[in-house]
Amino acid sequence: MSGSALDGLDERQRDAASVLRGPLCVLAGAGTGKTRVITHRIAHGVDTGAYSPGRVMAVTFTAKAAGEMRGRLRALGVEGVSARTFHASALAQVNYFWPTLAGDSAPSIIDNKVKMLAHAADGIGMNLDTATLRDVAGQIEWRKVTMRSIDAYAAARPDGIGRLSLERVVDLQRAYEKLKDERRQMDFEDVLLACAGMIEAEPRVAAAVREQYRHFTVDEFQDVSPLQHHLLELWVGERHDLCVVGDASQTIYSFTGADASFLLDFPRRHEDARVVRLETNYRSSEPILAVANELMRDRPGSLHLHAAQDADGPTPVVRAFDDDAAEAAGVARSVSTAIASGVDPASIAVLYRAHAQSAALIAALSSAGVASTVLGGKRFFDQSEVRQAVMALRAASVAPLETGFVATVRDVLRSLGLTDEAPPAGGALRDAWEARAALLRLAEEAPAETTLRDFTDQLIARAKDQHEPATRTVTLSTLHAAKGLEWDHVHLVGVSEGFLPISYASTFEAVDEERRLAYVGITRAARTLSVSWSRSSGRSERSPSRFLQEIGTRTLRAADAAATAGGGNRRAGAPTSGRGRSPAR
């Protein structure tokens, strides 16, 4: 990379990236370029000699995010940084040190906690359905990441699970731990516990880890659990080169043990910490940010986002439909109209609170001739059609090419089923076609000097980093799965009481988590945002979400559902009660 790693950063981003020593807390709002700051800061440290790449640990929460971080660092000319998830980092250390400490290889990792729980239940004469087993698995995960023993868990959770009493839940957890030990296996939470235990109990392990890694960066710090925070403190030791980056308004995993107080209290825990606030949003238009700001106004740790220059756009709309079917049909009509006007389907997303809401939307989009992909389904490079295509392209790369690189890729993909015209939307044939078409687009967008061997090498690297190409389909996603992503056009559906906030959110804390989920959904949108809800489930009446009332009518424009989407037959309107001001610009 030529030039400085600080080139191209705005003033606040540059401030953050320039701090290379001591504790640093970067409060980074949605769309403010936090990954850019993290990677450019590391590159700046390497360029100036402050960091040795092999002594930098950059931790994030998903393998995909870690892969993106490694890719960006490579583009900046930095190789050798340990950019991994908490679990991957801990597992590497457990596998390295366990043989030395125990004289044997480390236990294997359970690939299915529910299956292990089922075997444990059988062993103590319990016959449980899969849903109950999943709930118990979730409780085990919560117990471990909050660093509670089984007895402490029982004291903290006075209720059982469904028809399963607390006593029986405890019995099952003990049986699970016993069976796991007998089989010499660990679950994912055990990996973190084992790594922390080794560092605490063995001074030589602590010394080796702290000698290897000197500079630490943690992304999405608002999602850190007590166990992850404890492990991080053990990694860092008495040193102070720790940079944390996060946004309290995007804390949406409290149910798994995430605790935003670690982010909010960072300056108190580290008295000499520098704090930099990133509030210039490079993603969304000003009207969309007005909605987001109003929703989170006065919440603890909230940032006031403002758009970069020339980021005006249409006022977001809210539409009410008569029922769920009308809402799905109306959204599908809007999406179909947008695509017909030239909008790329890949730039459109439909977001919802729960997976169950997707079925009606998939059917409505298919009826409108719109292909869709559900986020969180099978990974792109794990699809059989993609694996077959990569293998065929790899085989073709060892033979002399009779045609150009792109033409060869096209010929190989055509031999596997790629046609000029796409099959009808809504079936497996269309899904396979979209995957092959995405591979062809990657080839067409590759630099002119790319060879077929280069291309297949890049595909294998992308698969490893989970850097998936975009298919030209509309994305359907839960709000949880959408975090960290963005689209030009977002439809946020089901914004009614019972869906958002979800019906079981009964406490203030739970409702506030739902508010943050709505905030995540809103801030995924770059150019247009459409919010909708239905007045009836077919069995009972619904009311608009309290969040719509709080946002008010000055930032969301009421739209006629019938006129804009062909659904519903009454005038749609956002509630006029509640906070009705738009935030200061």
CB 262 within 8 A of CB 233: no
- Considering only CA atoms, which of 218, 222, 287, 219 is closest in space to residue 249? 222
Q: Where are the beta strands (DSSP E) in 408-483?
A: 474-478
The residues facing 109 across adjacent strands are 186
CB atoms inside a 10 Å sphere around CB 552: 19
Distance from the Cα of residue 490 to its chain's centroid:
16
Q: Is 201 annotated as a binding residue?
A: no
Find the length of the chain.
Answer: 585
Q: 34 among the known binding-site residues?
A: yes
Does the annotation flag 565 for ligand binding?
A: no
Nearest Cα neighbor of 117 from 106, 129, 109, 107 is 129
DSSP state of 435: H
* CA-to-CA dists, residue 294 to 210, 302, 556, angstroms: 44, 11, 10
Cα 256 to Cα 138: distance, rounded to the nearest angstrom: 8
Residues 368, 335: contact at Cβ < 8 Å?
Answer: yes
* Residue type, position 503, single letter: S
30 is in an annotated binding site: yes
What DSSP string runs through 72-134?
A: HHHHTT----EEEEHHHHHHHHHHHHHHHHHSSPPPEEPS-HHHHHHHHHHHTT----HHHHH
> Is 29 marked as a binding-site residue?
yes
**Distance between CA 145 and CA 141 in Å, rounded?**
6
* Beta strands in 479-520, from DSSP E residues, in sequence order: 487-492
What CA–CA distance (Å, rounded) separates 45 from 453?
A: 34
Whether 93 and 198 have beta carbons less than 8 Å apart is answered as yes
Rounded to whole angstroms, how far apart are CA atoms 453 and 435?
20
As a whole number of angstroms, the distance between CA 404 and CA 421 comes to 23
In this structure, what are the phi and psi dihedrals at residue 416, rounded to the nearest 5 degrees?
Answer: -95, -5
- The answer to whether 115 is annotated as binding is no
Question: Is 32 annotated as a binding-site member?
Answer: yes
- Residue 538 counted as an annotated binding residue: no
Q: Is residue 303 a contact partner of residue 289, using CB atoms and an 8 Å limit? A: no
3-state secondary structure 2-31: CCCCCCCCCHHHHHHHHCCCCCEEEEECCC
Binding residues for ATP: 28-35
Binding region: 28-35
